[in-house]
Amino acid sequence: MSLIPVRLYGDPVLRRQAAAVDEVDDDLGRLADDMIETMRASDGIGLAANQVGELRRILVVNFDLETGGEGATALINPEITARVGTMRSMEGCLSIPDVWDEVERQAEIAVTWTDPQGREQNAEAEGLHAAVVQHEIDHLNGVLFIDHLPAVKRMMLRSTLKQIARRAKERM
């Protein structure tokens, strides 16, 4: 396993929609393992493939999605199949360091995905776990959590976001 550099705000790959995964193979399994290692090394609780420069529909979360307990889950081609209620979630992002704000999310979701062994899975998630899955699926669609903020808040972040974008350019 190896660490993969996390792309920062301003990198165009973060705004692109990831393509569906057609074949689950060993290469995809290695990517999932590397993403889990990268997420954990970055003290994250979720990471989408866009954030490591891969435009494939795969994300990882730092909890066992089926039990809500310890472990990590890799979700290939995840789809939210049900949404219930709303909540406010305090969110940050490995691609937008040091920026945190409240985002409105669904309080409970049902999600289906394929695991790295090619098996179809489904689970329900609520609270923080639901917010993390929604946040990461947004990434796969080229949407960042700051896009959910009111325009006034985004304007207040303009200077910080420009600084992060400059760092992203230096990395490219």
**pLDDT tens for each residue of 64-88:** 888 888 899 999 999 999 999 999 9
Calculate what percentage of the chain has a pLDDT beyond 90.
92
95-100 average pLDDT score: 96
Q: Is the separation of the CB atoms in 62 and 39 below 8 Å?
A: yes
Instruction: State whether CATH 3.90.45.10 applies to domain 12-171.
Output: yes
Q: Catalytic one among 70, 102, 120, 136?
A: 136
Distance CA 160, CA 168 (A): 13
3-class secondary structure, 134: helix
45-59 average pLDDT score: 98
pLDDT of 40 higher than 80: yes
* Cα atoms in the 13 Å half-sphere on the side-chain side of 34: 18
Distance CA 151, CA 31 (A): 36
> Global pTM?
0.95
Active-site residue flag, 108 = no
